Structure 1
Amino acid sequence: MNDLALQHATIASEIEEVIRETVQNCSFILGPATAAFEQAYASFCGVDHCVGVSNGTDALTLALKCLDLKPGDEVITTPHTFGATAEAIGHLGARIVFADVEEDYLTLDPARVQEKVTDRTRVIMPVHIYGHPADMDPLKEIAQASGAALIEDAAQAQGARYKGEVVGSLGRAGCFSFYPGKNLGAYGDAGGITTSDEAMATRMRSLRNHGQIAGGPKFSYAELGFNHRMDGLQGAVLGVKLPHLDGWNARRREIAQRYEEGLASVDGLRLPSVASWATPVYHLYVVRCDNRDGLAAALKARQIDTAVQYPMPLHATPAFHDCGAAMGDLPVTEKACEEIISLPIFPELEDDRVDLVIEAVRDFFGA
């Protein structure tokens, strides 16, 4: 699905140099390389601040923590996402409220969100799933009308754009994962939070470091915090990779277009849709069909890897079964989870390999 070794080979000398520098100056936690990456990524996203943290889950947790959620406060989000999205809400004691997704893009459906708003709604948290932005303008209108904060889960969407604006700049804060397999991936766990809210950024910098005020006296704790700091080595790696991100994303779009041209005529196969207002980055290339398992088996027989992200909606799992949604309540998500399958996509995937995938898929469908 994603050969990280191929990408490393293209930047190995740069990576080795910054790792050596970080080790030599012993900047293992935060440090100058992380600070430089934070500044560069904030500029890339078009915001004033980026706060580097230990992973994407902790990015979500800190962003929500800054909103001072109380028991009974509600956060509306999607059931079609990695568990960390809802996990962060639950750990802070807020109530998880699932709204269904749009049929075409599998992102949070503003109409379904509106139906879920109550006087306890404090946050609306869309996920830019698979690298395709959620429809943010109507979600902003709902958030403003209800007095809720809009927090983006952009873990899969580094560099994606909504109406020309980079995701992570469209709400109160944007939360990113830099897990190694992401479009912009570290060499271990890492995450980041983007915002133009200076007070929020200052508090997150404190919270990530045990509640100590950044630049203040050591061992003086303003509030109960966390150990959610980014490693210096990860900041150094991300600093090398960031200038390549636009090019890598462009290559992903080229591969997606090649799939589109090769598979559009296949009956029984549904390809991903792209909204007119979106510039996606194809973290995953997700197609839909009735016989997903058969397709996966046929491709595996030809040494082609596939994956399913995700085989069940969150409200169907034990951890989130008590979030007020039963099976049947969120039909678009539930149907999608029965049909979706991810085909290989990563920047170093060569055209001849893409064509082999296309050929195998067409053969399975008899096209």
Structure 2
Amino acid sequence: MSTVEVIAPNLKQRLSGVTSTIIQLVPVQARTLGIVTVGPGLPDSLPKMRWWQLPSLRTRPKSGRDRIWHARRNTEMVAGLVLRDIFRAPLKLVFTSAAQRDHRPFTKWLIRQMDAVIATGEKSASFLKVPHSVVMHGVDLDVFHPPAGDDDAFMASGLPGKYAVGCFGRVRHQKGTDLFVDAMIALLPQHPEWTAVITGRVTAEHKAFADELKARIAKAGLSDRIRFLGEVDDIKPWYRRVSLYVAPSRNEGFGLTPLEAMASQTAVVASDAGAYAEMIVQGETGALVPAGDGNALREAIRPYLADAALTETHGINALAEVRARFPLEREAEGVRRVYDHVWAMR
């Protein structure tokens, strides 16, 4: 702990977008920074501190600087405040906000107690009433990359068709899975070379929603061409196998999946939820539609199914865009600038 200057807590057991951010970002930060994670649900490959080491936070590291506690949830801000203000640990508190809504009074109070605040995009920044920096999430371009072999071809999936359009993530109303299904029911009969692939967990709470979608698909006679794969062991090859990725969320925090698709050289049609509008260049790397507008989603997808060359071109453009603007190293650099500013404050 004597060399650790940043702690990235993850106080949530279940995998989430925030957890995914920590898993991807911390190894890049660790190249130039003494950083550890703490909390459940994280892979053993990450640098970690143990709960029994918490008392060591009451002393400074060798550098003499206050350690930074980088929170991304309310619970983590609360924990940081307890450590700093009750146990008198020499900590600076940083919070990353991805919320695209007005914060509740308690959250606003917590945010005001932070030493620095990061917004993940201009939209989330617009809801902050305190000084802040904007640092957008990035994507690991080594992990998410263009097709590199036969296993990355859609043919390797064993599913019917020549091309695939995908929608990945938890199956639920908030994610707009029903909007995607309705668009596929309307479009696939006109495009027999295409198959739709849906991956993601269906929790007990949303099982009836998923079952209704499957019944709707069966009634349309498309059960062989609109496929629910459930949770897959490795989602990365599926980004490379689909020619078009659709992110139809009704609301979102930030939303990493379009960046992961773009890094895989895949065109993207997305709603304007989360930070999607800040990722996609309309008419060049994909298309944007109003969140919750099923008709607009269907019509935005239609040209891609009709023109494979257009889909391929926008996929190539998407890869260039994500390499220029969203490498994970760029996010790490932006966060480090915030840390350095906090350390420079008296």
Which structure has more relative contact order (CA 8 Å, sep 6+)? It is 1
Q: Does the pair score TM above 0.5?
A: no
Please report the TM-score for the alignment, with normalisation by the length of structure 2. Answer: 0.32
Which structure is larger by alpha-carbon Rg, 1 or 2? Answer: 2
Relative to the length of structure 1, the TM-score reads 0.30
